[in-house]
């Protein structure tokens, strides 16, 4: 059995969660001993398409014409495209067009969570089977690394006792404005938001909020490697007040790094994360402010340990076995027809 992992415009998406999903899928298939190719012109038994652009649709149609089963990965939903970048209401027209074409013509859909599964299943014209399988996390990549911690501390030269981090593109739905508003209440804490988006496509109100952000908020742009890894191991908290996610890979990364997590109480985290047990959740900024104060002044070791146990279920090796099970089921159905 050989699988095509197809990601269109890899250079464009490499800094996004979908871009990281490619890395995770490759590792997952390798861990399960599944042969794969990234080249749509190779021979393969199943096509697993992860993007929703025009070339992706052409690959889908080509595969269906050849009788090759097509899985479309549901990384995106109507809900998580809202309030993203400038002119999103115009950009949604072609985006939704291709998204629905891909989902409606797929033989199968895989999406990261039960929440995103329920959304995709509710869309008109989606009649195929939908599986929920996490994007996964390589726990070994997030084990403690003192060298990375040293590089983070050297890079930022932080003088405050506490550090809180956020990670994401400059989308309104990521909760970046709420991140700033909450930071105002903790002037003696350093807040760092890792991420980037070209100013020309960032919403005007987000650009304005960034210009007028509190003095204790650092915005270093997109940073990868040891420095961001060191941030996960040095910070007191990942504060990620996103309004909508299909999974939220940054949350998995924080839990794998044994960093406490404070997120908005939204459907995507149900049922695998629980407030006050494996993470902290809030519904609004008042909740967030109260919980930040609590987190900075109390022992979080039990929450951290429970969070790590929760994310272990999404380890790459487990994801590989889940994908193998789905691929095998698809091949058996194909062979029986």
Non-local (6+) Cβ contacts of 58 within 8 A are: none
pLDDT bucket at 189, cuts 50 / 70 / 90? very high
Q: What is the mean pLDDT of residues 120-146?
A: 95
User: Residue 279 in contact with residue 252, Cβ under 8 Å?
Assistant: no
Give the pLDDT score at 72: 97
Decide: residue 196, CB within 10 A, 0-12 exposed, 13-18 middle, 19+ buried. middle
In eight-state DSSP terms, residue 137 is B
Residue-wise pLDDT for 286-310, tens only, equals 999 999 999 999 999 999 999 999 9
Q: Which residue has the higher pLDDT, 78 or 278?
A: 278
Give the pLDDT score at 87: 59
Give the pLDDT score at 181: 98
Q: Which residue has the tokens 């691929």?
A: 327
Tokens (6 digits) for 172: 């309104």
Q: How many other CB atoms sit within 10 Å of the CB of residue 124?
A: 7
């Amino acid at each position: 059995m050989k699988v095509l992992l197809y990601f269109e415009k890899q250079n464009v998406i490499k800094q996004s969660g979908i871009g990281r999903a490619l890395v995770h899928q490759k590792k997952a298939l390798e861990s399960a001993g599944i042969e794969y190719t990234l080249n749509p012109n190779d021979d393969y038994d199943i096509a697993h398409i992860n993007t929703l652009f025009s070339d992706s649709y052409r690959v889908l149609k080509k595969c269906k014409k050849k009788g090759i089963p097509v899985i479309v990965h549901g990384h995106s939903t109507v809900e998580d495209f809202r309030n993203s970048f400038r002119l999103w209401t115009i950009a949604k027209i072609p985006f939704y067009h291709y998204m629905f074409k891909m989902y409606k013509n797929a033989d199968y859909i895989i999406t990261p969570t039960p929440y995103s599964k329920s959304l995709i299943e509710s869309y008109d014209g989606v009649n195929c089977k939908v599986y929920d399988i996490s994007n996964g996390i390589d726990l070994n990549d997030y084990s403690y690394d003192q060298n990375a911690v040293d590089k983070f501390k050297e890079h930022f030269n932080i003088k405050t006792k506490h550090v809180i981090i956020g990670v994401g593109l400059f989308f309104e739905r990521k909760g970046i404005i709420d991140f700033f508003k909450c930071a105002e209440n903790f002037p003696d804490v350093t807040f760092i938001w890792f991420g980037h988006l070209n100013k020309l496509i960032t919403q005007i109100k987000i650009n304005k909020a960034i210009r007028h952000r509190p003095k204790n908020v650092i915005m270093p742009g997109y940073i990868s490697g040891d420095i961001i890894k060191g941030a996960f191991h040095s910070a007191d908290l990942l504060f990620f007040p996103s309004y909508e996610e299909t999974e939220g890979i940054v949350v998995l990364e924080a839990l794998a790094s044994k960093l406490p997590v404070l997120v908005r109480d939204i459907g995507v985290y149900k049922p695998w994360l629980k407030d006050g047990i494996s993470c902290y959740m809030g519904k609004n900024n008042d909740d967030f402010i109260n919980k930040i104060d609590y987190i900075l002044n109390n022992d979080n070791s039990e929450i951290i340990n429970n969070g790590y146990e929760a994310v272990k279920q999404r380890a790459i090796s487990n994801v590989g076995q889940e994908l193998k099970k789905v691929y095998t089921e698809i091949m058996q159905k194909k062979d029986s027809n």
